[in-house]
Chain A
Amino acid sequence: MNGEQTLLDNEDRWVTGMGAWFPGERVVFRGKDLFNELNGISWMGLLLYGITGRSFDDKQLRLFEGIWTICTSYPDPRLWNNRIAALAGTARSTAALAIGAATMASEASIYGGRPVVRSIDFLFRARELLQRGADLQDVVATELKSCRGIAGYGRPLINADERIKPMLALAEELGFGSGAYVKLAFDIERVLLQGRWRFKMNIAALLAALAADQGLTRQAYYHFMVLCFSAGMFPCYADALNKPEGAFFPFRCDRIDYKGCSRRKWKSSLKTDEVKQ
């Protein structure tokens, strides 16, 4: 039980290669001078450099930007994360609170964070197993049994994904349409369609495959996707903010479908009902 040594070693000292601000002078960003060596870099390039420490070429950056623009930012205020931004607008909260809360909520189970992490994780594990001689049918069947589904296949509400066609078109245009992980993602879909499961691929599997083909790790891909929904959130917040306050999908009292205990009286032993004389 000597865990305090880690704290003693780090007291007033943070060893880092990530960067620092030299007030009034310069900024170092992962070992490079922000105003000189990184001068002219695009926002997407800087984001990915911050996440991975790697520099990507223009085609790769177009691919990553396409992932965000084509696939993840729908300005529909009914979608779970966007609805939080819209509710913040109708309740007259701030833009940063709206976008922050909607971004936090995007780390969800039925969409966003968990499918992002699990889809790329499955592709990595599946490829490793195949390279060791496993049969894809068995890999898929085992995953379905242990995880009760495969991240990236099947979709809440509907089974087809309208984003796959335009995303694949962009990937092919850029020369990224037939990478090893993209092929694997489609091979998995073929197995799932042939079996009794009838799961079609959704965009999570294709995006994970494209990112994996570019060498992103599971963590890097997850971090890259954290802000991916943000472009759709601002319109939802602004729309609700610019309309009358409280007007976003109001509920009247009788829209509550109560399924609980019937009416009853409280019996308490605590003396909290004394009134000052």
Chain B
Amino acid sequence: MSSDKETIRTRIWDEVPEPDNPFAAASCYCAGFDVYGDLLGKISWVEYLYLLFKLEPPSAGQAGLLEGLAVAIANPGPRDHSVRAAMNAGVGGSSHAACLAATLAVGAGQAGGAHEVALAMDVWRACGRDLNTWTGHLSRTPEAEQADVWPPAEHPPGFDPRGVSCATPVRRSLEYLSVRSDGDNLPWLQQHRGELERAAGLPLAMTGVTAAALVDLGFDAPQGEMLCLLLRLPGAAAHALEQQGYGYKKYPFFKDGLDLINDPGPVPRGDGRASR
């Protein structure tokens, strides 16, 4: 290769070409490990996921925690906004990529989505495990430093603005993950959930548990946001395929759901009758 060619700079991936084709890889190395000559058959999927992001193998505890988190957030169920987006695409016969792109677009948001998790991870970085700092933080309305494409936050990230009490799946996930974490944040969250919920005036949400787990795993907020987007796809994909099979006639349309406040009504026809 001539030295003036532009290159892809990376710490993640290296390749050795096949002898007969410079555009085909004979060997691929992820963070120094031979993917098809060594990792395949030895590494689990979540270990590989961790390796890709952190460039070092996870401990057994970290792999177990990421595995648990991946199960906890793999499928928020068919009522979830992001899964509904995938199913909407599915029932209309959209491409499968459109189903997942719809999930990503909706599941990216600040109300139950990946950006909320990233914002919650920022709060963990800012407040640590200091209850007074958390209480002060939760009593203020969060404000963005600059105008942004993201809408202003409407609730403290990690808490459920539509919740009444902490939902059972959230409590069970927190219980399960907190005893498996090598870090300190999940156990602290398990211990102080009640105080934090009182300060926020809202119950803890799955986004809050997810954020604590990702901080305990050593991910930064952009890595956490990416992982949340990625890990929510399995459920959305399965639900989209299922609804595609059932078809739009068996999927809610909210036939009588719109309450139009400014309907001008049918336009009168030339003969004086309405155009109905």
> Which residues of A are interface residues toward B (Cβ below 8 A)?
1-4, 6-7, 12-17, 19-20, 25-26, 28, 30-33, 35-37, 93-94, 96-97, 100-101, 104, 107, 113-114, 117-118, 121-122, 146-147, 218, 222, 250-270, 272-273, 275
A12 to B252, CA, bound (A): 10
Chain A residues lying within 8 Å of B38, measured Cβ to Cβ, are 265-266
Complex contact B263–A15 (CB within 8 A): no
State the Cβ distance, A174 to closest chain B Cβ, in Å.
28
Query: B97, B145, B147, B258: which contacts A218 (Cβ < 8 A)?
Result: B147
Chain A residues lying within 8 Å of B160, measured Cβ to Cβ, are 3
Chain B residues lying within 8 Å of A267, measured Cβ to Cβ, are 57
Segment from B13-21, B181-189, B206-214 that makes contact with A:
B13-21
Complex contact B32–A28 (CB within 8 A): no
Chain A residues lying within 8 Å of B39, measured Cβ to Cβ, are 266
State the Cβ distance, B162 to closest chain A Cβ, in Å.
4
Complex contact B1–A254 (CB within 8 A): yes
Complex contact A14–B258 (CB within 8 A): yes
Chain B residues lying within 8 Å of A104, measured Cβ to Cβ, are 101, 105
25 A-B pairs whose Cβ atoms sit less than 8 Å apart in the complex: A1-B197, A1-B201, A3-B162, A6-B162, A12-B254, A17-B260, A17-B262, A19-B260, A94-B95, A97-B101, A107-B149, A118-B146, A118-B147, A250-B23, A251-B23, A252-B22, A253-B25, A256-B7, A259-B9, A260-B12, A260-B14, A266-B38, A267-B57, A268-B42, A270-B47
Q: Closest residue to A255 on the B side, CB-wise? A: B7
> 4 closest Cβ contacts across the A-B interface?
A121-B147, A261-B32, A258-B14, A31-B262
Chain A residues lying within 8 Å of B25, measured Cβ to Cβ, are 253
Complex contact A25–B276 (CB within 8 A): yes
A260 to B105, CA, bound (A): 32
Query: B16, B105, B164, B263: which contacts A2 (Cβ < 8 A)?
Result: B164
Complex contact A260–B63 (CB within 8 A): no
Complex contact B164–A4 (CB within 8 A): yes
Chain A residues lying within 8 Å of B43, measured Cβ to Cβ, are 266, 268, 270, 272
Complex contact A270–B44 (CB within 8 A): yes
A12 to B9, CA, bound (A): 52
User: Do A1 and B275 form a contact, CB below 8 Å, given A114-B148, A255-B7, A258-B10?
Assistant: no
A117 to B197, CA, bound (A): 34
Chain A residues lying within 8 Å of B164, measured Cβ to Cβ, are 1-4
B112, CB-defined interface residue at 8 Å: no
Hey, what's the 0/1 contact readout for B82-111 against A, CB within 8 Å counting as 1?
000000000000010110010001000000
Hey, what's the 0/1 contact readout for B116-132 against A, CB within 8 Å counting as 1?
00000000000000000
B31, CB-defined interface residue at 8 Å: yes
Complex contact A258–B97 (CB within 8 A): no
User: Do A26 and B1 form a contact, CB below 8 Å, given A1-B202, A17-B260, A263-B32?
Assistant: no
A89 to B258, CA, bound (A): 39
Complex contact A36–B267 (CB within 8 A): yes
User: Do A17 and B261 form a contact, CB below 8 Å, given A1-B163, A266-B33, A270-B63?
Assistant: yes
Chain B residues lying within 8 Å of A37, measured Cβ to Cβ, are 264, 267
Q: Using A36-B267, A254-B1 as known contacts, list a sample of 20 further A-B pairs with CB atoms less than 8 Å apart, ordered by residue number in A.
A: A3-B160, A4-B163, A4-B164, A12-B256, A19-B260, A93-B97, A118-B148, A218-B147, A251-B23, A253-B23, A254-B22, A255-B1, A257-B7, A259-B10, A260-B12, A260-B13, A261-B11, A268-B57, A272-B44, A273-B42
